[in-house]
Chains A and B, each alone.
Chain A
Amino acid sequence: MSDLPTRDPQAGPDTEQIFGDLLGECVHCGFCLPTCPTNVLWGQEMDSPRGRIHLMTQMHTEDVLTEAAVGHFDNCLGCLACVSACPSGVAYDALLEHTRHRVEREHERPLGERALRGAVFALFPHRRRLRLMRGPLRAYQASGVSSLVRRSRLLDRLSPALATMERVAPPLSSPPPPLPELVPAAGRARARVGMLVGCVQGAFFPEVNTATARVLAMEGCEVVIPPEQGCCGALSGHAGRLAEAAAFARRLVEVFERAGVDRLVVNSAGCGSSMKHLDRTLAEAGADQGWVRRGRALSERVADLTEFLVELGPRAERRPLPLHVAYHDACHLSHGQGVTAPPRALLAGIPELTVSDLPDREICCGSAGVYNLFKPEVARELGDRKAEGVAATGADVLVSGNPGCSLQIAAAMDRAGAPVAVTHTARVLDASLRGLPVERLLGRG
């Protein structure tokens, strides 16, 4: 008998070793540089994926975590454009998740940073708490104090993060009625699908969820929306708070296992991207093989709304929408899930609607989950660049598949003095399927 500590045989392979193997995949070719938003901004190696992988290698082989390295890991938006650009197939997403997990465990953050992070993670992954904010937020916006505060730039001086939160908060109208637990299919049912309502989507864009459920039903899906579903854990996971992410993941697995659905449809890119690897998150957090397997089984059912609808094929009639839309690729949809063609195909399938791509479409808008709260200046600069691109298309509406991007780009367009209607792919489809007038999408009625 040895008295050396032994690894739990139920646990998966050593995550440190996997990390080392994954690091070795990088051949230092640099193809990731031009699509990395921080490299675009600053042009320095340590703020490029290749440089960060080098810093990760230093951390791994020498078992040190320098202050400098943490800063550059924090600067990463986690947009995963590098994953799309990489010809060697480096799993930067897995590398980043592991690295952030380690930073979270080992790095002592200054008090202010800790407080901000604590507040963000006590609020955003909790739909009910976010929903409670709706009332005061609406009152605040309606009171006119909002524009006063913005003009005074008071919040900028107090806290750039608070200022960003204030600016990206969407104008809220009265919420649509809550979604039922089961939406029956219109006509013969073709599939029984689960639907994730999401935290930010659910609290700030409930109409997107309503549209999603309606589109699915109109296309012949029975839609199951378990009310007890919580956060998917994406925000926590991307920030390295893996224990928290894993707890959310377990609850999600239990809830949707009970729901007995063929597919689990997600309309928020950030959520979908991380829900496609619940197994990895659970394994990285040290969960046993049983949980990892259950996570994988659910992950295999996860589909973005647009890829699911394309896979299903259209059944409901599309009615004309005379609109020019610009489509913004949410990073966690295009880079995180490789879903670029389906949303475009769905939009292009609507009569009289034209779709434009944005210049530099692979570059992040700066929203990146809660990044714009932690790094508001960087996010603002990227948002401004994106806004220029949107303006250049001359489109009537900007369409994206992620609530964070919608908030971020709308705020940037307002700042640029060129406000544009921003909406979700689901709402455009919903309008076409129901034959609504385009004004409804332009926010004019």
Chain B
Amino acid sequence: MSQTAQTQAVAALVPHLRRVCGDDGVLTDTARRRTYESDGLTHHRSVPGVVVLPTTADQVAAVVRLCADSGVPFVPRGAGTGLSAGALPHPGGVLLVTSRMRRVLEIDVDNECAVVEPGVANLDVTRAAAPYGYYYAPDPSSQQVCSVGGNVAENSGGAHCLKYGFTVNHVRGLDVVTPSGERVSLGGKNPDAHGYDLVGAFVGSEGTLGVATSVTVGLTRAPERTVTLLFAFSSMDAGGQAVSSIIAAGVLPSAVEMMDALAIEAAERAVACGYPEGAAAVLIVELDGPAAEVDAQAMAVTRLCAAAGAFETRTASGAEERARIWKGRKSAFAAVGRISPAYIVQDGVVPRTALPEVLRRITELSADSGIRVANVFHAGDGNLHPLVLFDDAEPGAAERAEEVSGAILDLCIEHGGSITGEHGVGVDKACKMPRMYGPDDLATFDLFRRALDPGGIANPDKLLPTPRLCGERPGVRTGVHPLVESGRAEQF
């Protein structure tokens, strides 16, 4: 569809959308639409054709059906905190925002699960479960604002995924509106449904397979004891060494987080977290479980870190003290705004053993390019979050930062890692997918996507590389799919 045709198609849809969502639930005014032009990753911007704010699953289904009938693309959006531009609006499409669907529908203590609408903030699940002695384990740093629906789309992780796993390990059931506007239920309250793991396929699909309208998540019993330890090191290498020895000793902390001097400086300025002075690296280790086990592990971890050269140790077991240790880490991304006018948050994974080497290479990259890089990462599972700092007022700086950021991902792939740990692919990394996956892999993904979304209207241009986006050979595939052709797949 040409751009004009798309604009006309959206305009034709508006009266119908108003009938479904009410005048108050449809935004057409330019100034208002523009406030939705980006999610948390602001260097990708695009003003949506129209914004809809449904309040019920029926409304979502009706909106999607309208889109399907007229071939207008739609992009689901939660709280708009994503860091891969997964919710980047389509200029000729509908932005379907779930921010008004934020009821906790049920806390089922007996079955240890919660049923929530997609717009519920991650932390609000824990708040609702806390009176029963439970919590929701996946904890992105933006947990007080990011939505459960967004977490499902991006398969979000967080500091504690080292021990407890990602969103996919906690979602048991989904009510989904498919790209054709059909309402289906996947999985349920039972954690081990049989047959194809469709819940697993939907989690992390970044809105390309439809929109979740309710999510059933498993709840985790609050541990008897939680201890948070903070260690200060005079080099990143020493910190890395400590991480290796902790894992080698067979201890599985719930979280192992590391920050370098630049990230510490930013956090210090933002929230005055009071980390040890002169630290080139701080390591935060959290242990949880039965009291006796946690106490024994805390002693072992403290001993191992001292052996690796920790010059200061802090131990916190009260909620408030622990929060003080976490405060610096949790605010680190946004806090970087204090030391740099602009920055890119990168998200890559390397095998834990490659951490010291990759960090050294990042330091070299930074020195060579003159672009500062602050490092904050989930050290336990090798999930790096380099923050590439630049001044957007300086001509060419953004491009150089982009280059450094891209080079860091190349480093991750080179060392056997991955281009995303938990932020998702979105638009930002779609063009990097061919570096991770071969043509057959991508063709398989594409086949799966098209099976559910033959019209290609569900969050197009995200997750998988497209010619328009990545400057590949242009042209829409017209012939037989290569997998079908080679007899490895069949199209119904």
- Write the residues of chain A forming the contact surface with B, with a CB cutoff of 8 angstroms: 24-31, 33-34, 42-46, 50-51, 54-55, 58, 66, 68-69, 86-89
CB contacts (< 8 Å) of B102 on chain A: these are 43
Q: Which chain A residues lie closer than 8 Å to B97 at the CB level?
A: 44-45
Residues of chain B within 8 A of A46, CB atoms compared = 27, 31-32, 35
Give chain A nearest CB distance to B267 CB in angstroms: 9
- Residues of chain B with a CB closer than 8 A to A24's CB: 341
* Bound CA span A234–B334, Å: 31
Q: Which residue of B lies closest to A90 (CB)?
A: B337
Contact A29:B31 (CB < 8 A) given known A24-B341, A44-B99: no
Interface residue stretch chosen among B4-12, B36-44, B484-492: B36-44
State which of A29, A58, A87 has its C-beta within 8 Å of the C-beta of B34. A58
Considering the chains assembled together, what is the distance between the CA atoms of A26 and B35 in angstroms? Answer: 13
Give the shortest distance, in Å, between A100 (CB) and chain B (any CB).
17
| A87: B residues at CB distance < 8 A | 270-271, 331, 333-335, 337
Interface string of B29-63 (1 = CB under 8 A from A): 10110111111101000000000010000000000
Which one of A26, A34, A55 lies within 8 Å of B145 (CB-CB)? A34
Cβ of B383 to closest chain A Cβ, rounded Å: 19
* B40 and A44 within 8 A (CB): no
Are the CB atoms of B79 and A33 closer together than 8 Å?
yes
Given A44-B99, A68-B31, check contact A30 B145 (CB 8 Å): yes
Given known A-B contacts A25-B337, A29-B334, A34 and B121 have beta carbons under 8 A apart = yes
List, in ascending order, chain B residues with CB within 8 A of A43's CB: 53, 99-100, 102, 119
Give every chain B residue within 8 A of A50 (Cβ-Cβ): 35
Q: Closest residue of chain B to A21, judged by CB?
A: B341
Q: A29-B333, A54-B35, A58-B31 are in contact. Are A45 and B80 (CB under 8 A)?
A: yes
Question: Could you tell me which B residues sit within 8 Å of A by CB distance?
Answer: 27, 29, 31-32, 34-40, 42, 53, 79-81, 97, 99-100, 102, 119, 121, 142, 144-146, 269-271, 331, 333-338, 341-343
Give B377 Cβ to nearest chain A Cβ, in Å: 18
Q: Is the CB of A31 within 8 A of B100?
A: no
Instruction: Provide the bound-state CA to CA distance between A28 and B102, in Å.
Output: 21
Measured CA separation A26–B34 after assembly (Å):
16
Question: A89 vs B144: C-alpha distance in the bound complex, in angstroms?
Answer: 18
| B119 and A33 within 8 A (CB) | no
What's the minimum C-beta distance from A78 to chain B, rounded to whole angstroms? 19
Interfacial chain B residues near A29, Cβ < 8 Å:
40, 81, 142, 333-334
Specify which chain B residues have a CB less than 8 angstroms from the CB of A45 in the assembled complex.
32, 35-36, 80, 97, 99
Residue of B nearest to A24 (CB): B341
Given contacts A27-B334, A43-B102, A68-B29, contact A88 B270 (CB under 8 A): yes
Q: Is the CB of B337 within 8 A of A89?
A: yes
**A88–B338 contact, CB under 8 A?**
yes
* Least CB distance, B269 to chain A, in whole angstroms: 8
Q: A45-B80, A55-B35, A89-B269 are in contact. List 16 more A-B contacts (CB 8 A).
A: A27-B42, A29-B40, A29-B81, A29-B334, A30-B40, A33-B79, A43-B99, A44-B53, A45-B99, A46-B32, A50-B35, A66-B29, A86-B334, A87-B334, A89-B270, A89-B338
Q: Which residues of A contact B80 (CB under 8 A)?
A: 30, 45
Determine the distance from Cα of A54 to Cα of B119 in the docked complex, in whole angstroms: 22
- Roughly how many angstroms separate A34 CA and B102 CA in the complex, as a whole number? 12
Contact partners of A33 in chain B: CB under 8 A: 79, 145
B27 shortest CB reach to chain A, Å: 8
Can you list 27 A-B pairs, Cβ within 8 angstroms, ordered by A?
A: A27-B334, A27-B336, A27-B337, A27-B342, A28-B40, A28-B42, A30-B79, A30-B142, A31-B142, A33-B79, A33-B145, A34-B145, A43-B53, A43-B100, A43-B119, A44-B97, A45-B32, A50-B35, A58-B31, A58-B34, A68-B29, A86-B334, A87-B271, A87-B337, A89-B270, A89-B337, A89-B338
Q: Judge whether B99 and A55 touch: CB under 8 Å.
A: no
Q: How far is the CB of B51 from chain A (nearest CB, A)?
A: 8
Closest partner residue, chain B, to A35 (CB atom) = B144
User: A44 vs B31: C-alpha distance in the bound complex, in angstroms?
Assistant: 13
B146 to chain A, nearest CB (A): 8
Contact partner of A51 among B35, B81, B142, CB < 8 A? B35
Interface centre among A43, A45, A89 (most CB of B within 10 A): A45
For A42, A46, A51, A58, the residue with the greatest tally of chain B CB atoms inside 10 Å of its CB is A46
**B262 to A: closest C-beta gap in Å:** 16
Q: Is the CB of B145 within 8 A of A31?
A: yes
The 7 closest A-B pairs by CB, nearest first: A88-B337, A87-B334, A43-B99, A87-B331, A51-B35, A29-B334, A30-B81
- CB contact between B335 and one of A26, A28, A55, A88 (< 8 Å): that residue: A88
Measured between beta carbons, the chain A residues less than 8 angstroms from B38 are 28
**Bound: A25/B337 CA distance, A:** 7
Chain B residues closer than 8 Å to A69, beta-carbon distance: 31
Q: How far is the CA of A24 from the CA of B334 in the complex (A)?
A: 13
Shortest Cβ gap from B424 to chain A (Å): 16
Query: Contacts of A68 on B, CB cut-off 8 Å?
Result: 29, 31-32
Q: How far is the CB of A17 from chain B (nearest CB, A)?
A: 13
Query: Please, which residues of chain B bring their CB within 8 A of the CB of A30?
Result: 40, 79-81, 142, 145-146
A54, B342: Cα distance in complex, Å: 16
Whether A88 touches B34, Cβ cut-off 8 Å, given contacts A29-B81, A29-B142, A31-B142, is no
For the complex formed, measure the closest distance between the CB of A62 and the CB atoms of chain B, giving whole angstroms: 10
A311 to B271, CA, bound (A): 22
Least CB separation from A33: chain B residue: B145
| CB proximity of B35 to chain A, nearest CB, Å | 4
Most central of B119, B271, B335, B342 by chain A CB within 10 Å: B335
Judging by beta carbons under 8 Å apart, are A31 and B334 in contact?
yes
Cα distance A27–B38 in the bound complex, in angstroms: 11
From A44, A50, A58, residue with most partner B Cβ within 10 Å:
A44
* Distance between B245 CB and nearest chain A CB, rounded to angstroms: 32
Q: Which residues of A contact B34 (CB under 8 A)?
A: 54, 58
Enumerate chain A residues within 8 angstroms of B342, measured Cβ to Cβ: 27
Q: Using Cβ atoms and an 8 Å threshold, which residues of chain A touch B119? A: 43
Contacts of A26 in B (CB 8 A): 337
Instruction: Give chain B residues whose Cβ lies under 8 Å from the Cβ of A66.
Output: 29, 31
With most chain B CB atoms within 10 A of its CB, the pick from A27, A51, A54, A86 is: A27
